[in-house]
């Protein structure tokens, strides 16, 4: 199976590295990735960062699962876009990501 990891940090590098070790995984794509993920066996960096590009890439490559690491694409609704396109994705929706991305929202939520 092919997996797409969205992000360019150490967390995404660690996820891609470990996922690539699974015998069930044929390829891990990392968007945009970093210098470390570019050298990992079984991993390929993808030059795509905007959500519509990532959805198109996932469809075209028949990605089985997308894992989103960074807060910014989650807050921008990447999970909602992948679900709307009927693509499997792991991460919170835009509404749920507000707990992490908006301090005002998180404070108001915790006061309830």
Could you tell me the pTM of the whole model?
0.89
User: What is the predicted pLDDT for the residue at 14?
Assistant: 98
The domain locations on the chain are: 2-111
Mean pLDDT of 82-101: 89
Strand order in the sheet with 65-68: 43-45, 27-32, 2-7, 65-68, 89-90
Question: Does the pLDDT of residue 100 top 90, yes or no?
Answer: no
CA contacts within 13 A on the Cβ side of 2: 12
Model confidence at 9, pLDDT cuts 50, 70, 90, reads very high
User: What is the predicted pLDDT for the residue at 101?
Assistant: 62
Residue-averaged pLDDT of the chain: 93
Q: Which residues face 4 on adjacent strands? A: 29, 66
Q: What is the CATH number of domain 2-111?
A: 3.40.50.20
């Amino acid at each position: 199976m092919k997996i797409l990891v969205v992000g360019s940090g150490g967390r995404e590098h660690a996820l891609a590295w470990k996922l690539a070790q699974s015998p069930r995984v044929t390829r891990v794509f990392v968007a945009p990735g970093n210098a470390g993920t570019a050298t990992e066996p079984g991993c390929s960096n993808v030059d795509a960062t905007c959500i519509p590009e990532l959805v198109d890439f996932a469809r075209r490559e028949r990605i089985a699962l997308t894992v989103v690491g960074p807060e910014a694409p989650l807050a921008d609704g990447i999970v909602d876009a992948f679900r709307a396109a009927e693509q499997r994705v792991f991460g919170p929706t835009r509404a749920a990501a507000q707990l992490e991305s908006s301090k005002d929202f998180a404070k108001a939520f915790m006061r309830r």
